[in-house]
Homo-oligomer: A and B are copies of this chain.
């Protein structure tokens, strides 16, 4: 098995709605960018380029938002933005609304976040279609550079039972999201019963190790993943979503 290396790309300029993020990323990638590389991009810069931001001042909270905000000590305008992104509120407590987003992701505050927004009072939402965003970025980087790395769009999610956040893949193009070992033999030749590895989430987590939360380094290059990088964009991060009826914690 070959080694994997993880390196942050140089700081990017601040990105605004309508900016050509693929070109910005293509310019930041090293000269030896390769087809087998994986470009991991923090979702916030993707959301900003796509205009997926809202100003708190523009939001008129409704009754449910005001009630939840009062109960959980939150800004009612922020809660309204969360409800606008949420298909379902799974749990509320400890200052967090754990939601199912319209994409089927389960995360705190439906991914609506105030950290690292470009402006005070700005909320950053998740991309409308993160797998689509990943495919477009992959296409754009390939067009600009003549090399076609895989693209992963990452966000930091909390977890039940464990403290701290880890980055997970919310959008994927060109990387096998899930490596299925079920039915294949283990090191002793016996069938593995329950192993499939969330490759795209592990790549996202690895990328976060070289990124500081106070830096403008949203992009990380992960190399050595050639056996998981595919010419086709593949099923994307959608393949990582557990169906509700297969989930014991809904």
Question: A230 to chain B: which residues have CB within 8 Å?
Answer: none
Across-interface contacts of A195 in B (CB, < 8 A): 115, 156, 165, 213
Q: Is the C-beta of A164 less than 8 angstroms from some C-beta in chain B?
A: yes
Which B residues are CB-close (under 8 A) to A246?
Answer: 94
Contacts of A165 in B (CB 8 A): 195-198
A189-220 residues with Cβ-Cβ distance < 8 A to B are 190, 192-199, 201-203, 205-206, 208-217
Inside 8 A of A208's CB, which chain B residues have their CB?
A: 197, 202
For A216, the closest partner residue in chain B by CB is B187
- Smallest CB gap from A200: residue in B: B164
Q: Which of B160, B168, B188 contacts A160 (CB 8 A)?
A: B160
This chain: how many copies in the complex? 2
Interface string of A1-30 (1 = CB under 8 A from B): 111111110000000000000000000000
A63 at the interface (CB under 8 A from B): no
Considering the chains assembled together, what is the distance between the CA atoms of A162 and B105 in angstroms? 8
A181 with B213: CB separation less than 8 A:
yes
Smallest CB separation, A87 vs chain B (Å)? 13
* Residues of A in contact with B (beta carbons under 8 Å apart): 1-8, 91, 93-96, 98, 105-106, 108, 114-118, 120, 156, 159-168, 177-179, 181, 184-188, 190, 192-199, 201-203, 205-206, 208-217, 224-225, 239-242, 246-250
Sort A-B residue pairs by CB-CB distance and give the 8 closest, nearest first: A164-B198, A206-B206, A160-B249, A106-B161, A3-B7, A91-B248, A205-B205, A202-B205
Can you name 22 A-B pairs with beta carbons within 8 Å?
A1-B212, A3-B7, A4-B6, A4-B209, A94-B248, A96-B248, A106-B162, A114-B193, A115-B193, A159-B198, A161-B249, A162-B168, A162-B201, A164-B201, A166-B197, A167-B202, A184-B214, A187-B213, A195-B213, A202-B206, A203-B209, A249-B249
